Structure 1
Amino acid sequence: MDDAVGTLTRGTAEGGLTTGAVARMLGVAPTTLRSWDRRYGIGPASREGGRHRRWTSADIGLLECMCGLTNAGMPPAEAARAALAAASRDTPARPDEPTSRSRTPSSHAPGALPVGRARRECRGLARAAVRLDAQAMDELLDAAIDKYGLLAAWESVIMPTLHAVGRKWETVGERYVEVEHLLSWHVSSALRRAAARRAPTAGSGVSLLACTPGESHTLALEALAAGLARQGLPVRMFGAALPVEAMEEAVRRTGPAAVVLWAQSRSTASRALVARVESIEWGVRGARRRPVVLVAGPGWAGQLPSRALHPSGLAEALDVLAAISRR
């Protein structure tokens, strides 16, 4: 929380934070904050020049109360009434404290994700995911990629949030399925938006990316595809559970410089598949070529094929594929 506290302290000293700064800190879309202000009176007590919102520490305290209540499942209008009533009493409103017309919301919605001492953007994304706030997730993901670059955003914002969902699954089970599914969809969408910003450079070898048969986890491969695209390197992303015969056909038709096979679990990692892909040839007689095969994902731990490369993470995979593609 140190960075959020520092931001709040500096902003208060300077006359308050802007709506954008508060939105990033809390993981709420700026349009949501403006809507809460307009509809429910959950807004800054004063405006700069009578127009521009500047949020003080007291204003942000009221917002945090509002966010806590909506995160716990309380409808926004009801949450606003409870937050304003608590502020007038100068006591915190509790998500498990029902109002005259409310149910106990904590039994209907999950609590906060355990992101620990992560970046402010990671905590904001986690809050937005719990609230199922699609617009806020899109804005926060795009802002993180623009600010830090794809690699750093993936490692320090996106992955910690995804891991936090996984840790919640271990303790509360199926209650977090909807959070995981929506967050994964918006991460995938953000990666595709990031990949679309640059056309591939001519003359570089193609990298073919595919999950092994039976493997459905694609986000790490999508991050790799976006990273290659942002470097101007051609890539073909075949996604989840590509059948063996389809993989062979894709290799023969594209003639890739490299093939990356992703396995999330040991049950989907196959040495026989790696050997089969390594043996595929294309090109004219006398100048036939074979792809360099990389295996990626935790499923290969302890059962690495003898010749296949195994990058330790996204950064190393990007470096290795860039070197192969530019040969």
Structure 2
Amino acid sequence: MDGERVGADRSGPGPDVRATEAGVTTGALARRLGVSPTTLRSWERRYGIGPAERAAGRHRRWMPRDVAALETMCRLTSAGLPPAEAARLARSEAEVAGPPQDGTAAGPPAPVAAPAATGDVRQESRGLARAAVRLDAPAVEGRLAAAVAGFGLARAWQEVMVPTLHAVGRKWASSGDRYVEVEHLLSWHVSTVLRRHTRPPVAADGPATGPVLLACVPGEQHTLPLEALNAGLSQLAVATRMFGAAVPAEALTAAVRRLGPAAVVLWAQARSTASLPLAQHVAETRWGVKGARSRPLVVLGGPGWAGRPSQGMLRPTSLPEALGTLTAACGRLP
């Protein structure tokens, strides 16, 4: 019935209904979830939450992905969501995250422990995607914190946060207006965790070594990669100045002249915002007294610069590479 609330068992999948390659029966799954077989058939008919395969004789066989979707459905309805909305989120989670790696039914997302081994990176990314699709902010925060604690900031960004953001973005691009709220929530919490791991700004070592200036080019709103770089540099005690999204060209040039930075990082997510003349102008900007004038190292970040000539400018392809480049420019060991 539309108004029913289901109290799903959260102790983890029992041995009688562990989803194997052959799948599990409707009766076994109903016992596991604490609902009736009639309820499962009703959900399939009304909301499209059904098994992907049927055995001979049209018997239902629930595969790992089906079981994971139903456990999500039960968890959300027990939390008070209407069944139709719970079913939509459960289907979306299954589409984005796919089945668990070990072939068993997925358990609830929290509490989240720090990853114990390097092989857990893909599992962490899947868990983060599931939590984001459910709009489960506490679980998203917990998984992001666990990833940073278990893998370190650079690897958590490179191998957990970025793949999950890309996966959600692809679903948004291919599904019309769906998943926009998921991407916004995930981006917000990624930003929150990155800033939580950003140490307070430090002063540059002296007039010979200025800070690293971080800015998105005019028209560019994607700041998360710069936030990750800023956090990583702060942990290495490198002085930075973060200017964030869509910095006007005149303001960028004025900041370079005022600060005398050791390096300027220009982020462009799209080719439409990647202005090579602006990058060259920044690279040629000089300051200081005659006979000892300096100019910054310009680092181009983001896919918008792909295929563009960048003589005298660097284009690191990963966060660890960018950290190494910039710590060297500032005279520090990476």
Q: Which amino acid aligns with 2:261?
A: P
Give the distance between the partners of 2:150 and 2:285, measured in 1 at CA.
Answer: 41
Out of 215, 218, 243, the position equivalent to 1:213 is 218
Give the distance between the partners of 1:123 and 1:106, measured in 2 at CA.
Answer: 19
With over 3 angstroms needed to count, the CA separation of the structure-2 counterparts of 1:173 and 1:88, relative to structure 1, is closer
Give the distance between the partners of 1:56 and 1:103, measured in 2 at CA.
Answer: 22
Q: TM-score, normalised by structure 2?
A: 0.68
DSSP 3-state at the match of 2:215: strand
Q: Which residue of 1 aligns with 2:277?
A: 272
Q: Which residue of 1 aligns with 2:170?
A: 167
Out of 255, 263, 269, the position equivalent to 1:258 is 263
Identity level (%): 51
Q: Which residue of 2 aligns with 1:111?
A: 92
Out of 128, 136, 139, the position equivalent to 2:139 is 136
Q: Does residue 293 of structure 2 align to residue 288 of structure 1?
A: yes
Out of 39, 49, 57, the position equivalent to 2:13 is 57
Corresponding residue pairs, total: 258
Give the distance between the partners of 2:220 and 2:82, measured in 1 at CA.
Answer: 43
Give the distance between the partners of 2:235 and 2:39, measured in 1 at CA.
Answer: 46
C-alpha RMSD of the superposition = 3.2
Asked whether the 8 Å contact 2:212–2:263 carries over to 1, the reply is: yes
Higher share of residues assigned helix = 1
With over 3 angstroms needed to count, the CA separation of the structure-2 counterparts of 1:41 and 1:111, relative to structure 1, is closer
Q: CA deviation at 1:284?
A: 2.6
Q: Which amino acid aligns with 1:58?
A: G
Give the distance between the partners of 1:169 and 1:124, measured in 2 at CA.
Answer: 18
Q: Does residue 323 of structure 2 align to residue 321 of structure 1?
A: no
Give the distance between the partners of 2:267 and 2:157, measured in 1 at CA.
Answer: 17
Structure 1 unaligned regions, length at least 5: 1-38, 45-54, 63-81
Give the distance between the partners of 2:138 and 2:197, measured in 1 at CA.
Answer: 17
Asked whether the 8 Å contact 1:130–1:179 carries over to 2, the reply is: yes
Q: Which amino acid aligns with 1:260?
A: V
With over 3 angstroms needed to count, the CA separation of the structure-2 counterparts of 1:56 and 1:188, relative to structure 1, is closer
DSSP 3-state at the match of 2:285: coil
Asked whether the 8 Å contact 1:258–1:291 carries over to 2, the reply is: yes
Structure 2 unaligned regions, length at least 5: 19-28, 48-80, 102-120
Give the distance between the partners of 1:201 and 1:325, measured in 2 at CA.
Answer: 12
Asked whether the 8 Å contact 2:8–2:33 carries over to 1, the reply is: no
Q: Counterparts of 1:1-327 in structure 2 under 5 Å?
A: 42-43=8-9, 55-58=11-14, 86-89=33-36, 93=40, 96-98=44-46, 104-105=84-85, 109=89, 111-112=92-93, 113-115=95-97, 119-196=122-199, 200=202, 203=205, 205-326=210-331
Give the distance between the partners of 1:304 and 1:83, measured in 2 at CA.
Answer: 61
Asked whether the 8 Å contact 2:172–2:179 carries over to 1, the reply is: yes
DSSP 3-state at the match of 2:281: helix
Deviates more, 1:185-194 or 1:198-207: 198-207
With over 3 angstroms needed to count, the CA separation of the structure-2 counterparts of 1:56 and 1:286, relative to structure 1, is same
Q: TM-score, normalised by structure 1?
A: 0.70
DSSP 3-state at the match of 1:285: coil
